[in-house]
Amino acid sequence: MTEIPRVRIGELLPRYDVVLLDAYGVLVTLDGPLPGACELVEQLNHSGQAYSLLTNGAARLPENAARRYQGFGLAIPPERIITSASLLTAYFRDHGLAGRRCRVLGPADSLRYVELAGGEVVGLNEPFDVLVVCDQSGFPFLETVDDTLSQLIERIEAGRPAAMVLPNPDLMFPTGRGFGITSGSIALVIEAALALRYPRRPELRFARLGKPYAAIFEEAARRAGGRDMLMIGDQLETDIRGANDFGIDSALVMGGVVGMDAVGAGQPRPTWLLDTLMA
């Protein structure tokens, strides 16, 4: 197996028309910016090079995410931010979900994304037709998951399975003090419980929208007007696999969710390795 080239960020930027940046583990943790992130964003803004923040985050509207990043010293405007939850509008339209009752797991902005997509958001203990798992925060965890699972089973038993949508398929993220689970892990728990009860019903799974799936890369290409793009990320299964499947180059930033030991046989291989975003 050929060795993956290790490069510096300054060597990569001139090679591509568009740079796609992951957020958590590349630019920020929960505690603030990572080394080199502020300088990189400043350089991109100053040079005029096209870039987008391509994030599986589904807990903040672009304007609120931009405000938070700007508080960290990252001058990223809202129009540069493509979130997985922004794909809900097209998904609801294409699958006839507008106007349906939706249970949404996530904070207030997650609920707003579903409303913007045309869904009717309902509260805990209310019946729902669509389950949208956006984030691990913003709700009483055990009570909500238990009630959600119970209602899903009730609907299946009645022959009316609910639609299940997962904008953010990430399983974990770096917190700055370690790691935490996110919405993808919650979805796996629900899927495992349904598989245990209904082993012959493989269709009882979430529709996944964010990286590594194509829709979010297609949106980035649409905005950029082309596919000469580089994806910079810290997760093999989302950032790197998604870029590879979409047919664009990728760079893995070391020190995020995965370490060098994870880059092996059978795993998605990045085009480049970056030890840091520092120039």
The separation between the first and the last C-alpha atoms of the chain, rounded to the nearest angstrom, is 28
CB 187 within 8 A of CB 166: yes
pLDDT tens series, the chain, 279 aa: 688 999 999 999 999 999 999 998 899 988 899 999 999 999 999 999 999 999 999 999 999 999 999 999 999 999 999 999 999 999 999 999 999 999 999 999 999 999 999 999 999 999 999 999 999 999 999 999 999 999 999 999 999 999 999 999 999 877 767 888 999 999 999 999 999 999 999 999 999 999 999 999 999 999 999 999 999 999 899 999 999 999 999 999 986 555 555 566 678 999 999 999 987
Dist CA 104 CA 111 (whole Å): 6
Per the structure block, which two tokens stand in for 266? 């059978």
Dist CA 121 CA 126 (whole Å): 10
DSSP label of 240: I
Dist CA 232 CA 251 (whole Å): 5
Domain extents in the chain: 6-56+211-274, 96-208
- Residues 119, 123, 125, CA angle at the centre, nearest 5°? 125
Per the structure block, which two tokens stand in for 29? 């943790």
pTM comes to 0.90
Do 96-208 and 6-56+211-274 fall under one CATH topology? yes
Task: Indicate the class that CATH gives domain 6-56+211-274.
Answer: alpha beta
CA nearest neighbour of 258 among 249, 269, 248, 247: 269
Per the structure block, which two tokens stand in for 66? 């931009």
Task: Indicate the class that CATH gives domain 96-208.
Answer: alpha beta
